[in-house]
Structure 1
Amino acid sequence: MIRETFALGGQLPVRRLGYGTAQLTGPGYWGPRGDARDAVAVLRRAVELGVTMIDTADNYGPSIAEELVAEALHPYPEGLVIATKGGVVRTSDSAWHVDGRPERLRAMCEASLRRLRLDTVDLYQLHRLDPEVPLAEQLGALDELRAEGKIRHIGLDTVTDEQLSAALELTSVASVQNRYNLLDRSSEPLLKLCEAHGIAFLPWFPLGNGSLTSDPVCAEIAAAHGTTPGQIALTWLLHRSPVLCPTPGTGSLVHLEENLAAGAVRLAPEDKSRLDSLG
């Protein structure tokens, strides 16, 4: 039996299949993508279909994705969890600069709150650890923001299991966000640590950046279930671990509905065994 919800931080119940906003921006997550009205329609439809966690970031656009979230969904319905990220500065479609200085993290978080029209963000994720700034200082800045009521829960993006263990010695962590999918399980030790501590694992590129939508094994199993290969790849994540909370992104209403329908697919034991063996 698949558990359909997860208690983020042990407090906030979310549907495990959420929605990520990166694809609402242009190539390289830079600039706008088409008509903003289309993005607004996708966000609103996601919530209509039962999504209770929206995952965004200040550098998607930059700023554009957060602004679209607010335009589409504010005032936010009760029970909708908003997650965003900070700690990376964009200067072009191919330039990403990590900045974990406490004063910069505070400024980024407060700017996200303004764009999202929030007093408190449910989940604020450190988008990358800054190797030039002590971890205690980076997490200390987020702890201060949490104490001030500007952050409800802290998350980490792209970390190792050793880094998560070090972070847990300094503060509580509600989520991690790492690359993980049917064919890329390099973060398996991190997943096990998340399971041990009740931490949500939000896998990015849950569809392998599109490659899993044409995987032959997924296609064969999908044909037997009357579904699509992408739905099989997503439902495998839901079967794989109760802490995995995929947030697949798309700018298409058709693909959105397809992705979210994956939550209703149930794999037979032999299907899961075949998919498990792919890794």
Structure 2
Amino acid sequence: MIYGTIPGVAKPVARMVMGVDNQDDLAQAAPLFDDYIERGGNCFDTARIYMRGGCEALFGEYLAKSGARDRIVLIGKGAHTPNCTPEAARSQLEQSLEALRTDRVDIYFLHRDNPQVPVGEFVDVLDALHREGRIGVFGGSNWSLERFRAANDYAKRTGKTGFTVLSNNLALARMIEPVWAGCISARDPEWLRYLEESGTALFAWSSTARGFFTGRGDPSRAAEEAEIARCWHAEDNFERRRRAIALAEAKGTSPVQIAMAWVLSQPFATFALSGPRTLEESRRNVEGLSADLTESERDWLDLKRDQP
């Protein structure tokens, strides 16, 4: 496992983050969680909206039975559309803490933004929850750069705690259409420059483009892989895929691991969200952390130069 540091989070944070959004059976999920921890993983991603709170309840039961709470970094998310209000952020956090059987989450994200709400109202409630000790560092998921900056400008003016973490999409493949309504990528140059200059940590969802760098991303499979085709099929992405395949062959690894390495080799703190369904997938994801890229290889993969 490799780790990153986030100011305000006491523990080093595993850069491969275990998502719990696709788990509904503790008997099947517990071995995945145990194995991830045994391999050095310590960061788990939860959200109130996942299975209408069911995933939080499952993970809360796991924490109670395993006694692992003090060893992990716990991510929570709330206030997803259509309940994206400051009031919902507080009430849903209370529900999340009860389901998770804990009194605090280490990292908290507003799962969506609501531009109809003045950004300062979101900062006010998150700052209050932080001061109450219920959340550690916090930020936005699927937020625009304009609103994210505005949140921090407001926090600075008013002496409040600002946003220090972001959870938008980032992948080697450029997202053509949002995977889900309201999703935002941090892939444009302005976002990338801001992340590097501000020191904001990015928790990237769909960091390997949801299977685009496997056989499922082949153009010939567009009909059977409609979501991948809708979100990722474009000529520039096909060239990125071809280059990932070629570099994987040269390095003796897989295109997925190369795509993951591209995300993790950015010049700012990045953490990749992963939702494996089997032990094999989980172990393959962790093993993929060993793939290293040079700066020139990273730029070549992203079509910024002709040679790696």
TM-score, with structure 2 as normaliser: 0.77
Q: Which of 4, 7, 17 does residue 5 from structure 2 map onto?
A: 7
Counterpart amino acid of residue 39 in structure 2: L
- Of 132, 135, 138, 2:116 maps to 132
Matched, 1:84 2:76: yes
2:160 is equivalent to residue 161 of structure 1: no
Q: Please report how far the alpha carbon of residue 226 of structure 1 lies from its aligned counterpart in structure 2 after TM superposition.
A: 2.1
Distance 2:35 2:53 in 1: 21
Give the secondary-structure state (helix, strand or coil) at the position aligned to 1:132: coil
Question: Per-residue deviation at 1:219?
Answer: 2.1
**Amino acid paired to 1:6:** G
Q: In structure 2, do the counterparts of structure 1 residues 111 and 209 end up closer, same or farther at CA, with 3 Å as the change threshold?
A: same
- CA distance in structure 2 between the aligned counterparts of 1:278 and 1:61, rounded to whole angstroms: 40
Could you tell me which amino acid in structure 2 is paired with residue 210 of structure 1? G
Gaps of 5+ in 1: 25-31, 89-96
2:168/2:202 contact within 8 Å kept: yes
The aligned runs of 1:96-111 (5 Å cut-off) are: 97-111=81-95
Between the aligned residues of both structures, percent identity stands at 29
Q: CA deviation at 1:111?
A: 0.6
Cα distance change of structure 1 residues 142 and 270 upon mapping to structure 2, 3 Å threshold: closer
In structure 1, what is the Cα distance between the partners aligned to 2:74 and 2:286? 18
AA at the equivalent of 1:15: A
Moved more, 44-53 or 266-275: 266-275
Contact 2:170 2:205 (C-alpha < 8 Å) held by counterparts: yes
* Partner residue, 2:248: 222
TM-score, normalised on structure 1?
A: 0.85
Distance 1:278 1:49, change over 3 A: farther
Aligned to 1:68: 58
Q: Contact 1:177–1:203 at 8 Å: present in 2 too?
A: yes
Specify which of 18, 23, 42 is matched with residue 52 of structure 1: 42
Match of 1:92 in 2: none
Q: In 2, distance between residues paired with 1:244 and 1:109?
A: 25
Q: How many residues align?
A: 260
User: Distance between the aligned counterparts of 1:145 and 1:269, measured in 2?
Assistant: 40
Q: Retained in 2: the 8 A contact 1:203–1:246?
A: yes
Higher relative contact order (CA 8 A, sep 6+): 1
Deviation at 1:37, TM superposition (A): 1.4
Residues 77, 48 of structure 1: alpha-carbon distance in 2 compared, 3 angstrom cutoff: farther
Q: Which residue of 2 aligns with 1:258?
A: 284
2:232 alignment partner in structure 1:
none
Does structure 2 retain, via aligned residues, the 8 Å contact 1:207–1:234? yes
**How much has 1:152 moved relative to structure 2?**
1.2
Q: What one-letter code is carried by the residue in structure 2 that aligns with 1:7?
A: T
Q: Secondary structure of 1:140's match?
A: helix
Report the secondary structure of 2:77's partner residue: strand
Deviations 1:77-119 (CA, angstroms, capped at 9, x unpaired) = 544100010001xxxxxxxx33233322111001111111111
Cα drift, residue 257 of structure 1: 0.7
Partner of 1:22: 21
Distance 1:187 1:70 in 2: 37
The alpha carbon displacement at 1:272 in A equals 2.8
Instruction: In structure 2, give the amino acid aligned to 1:37.
Output: A
The structure that has the greater radius of gyration is: 2
What is the SS of the residue equivalent to 1:62?
Answer: helix
Partner of 2:105: 121
Q: Which runs of 5+ in 2 are unaligned?
A: 156-160, 175-185, 216-240
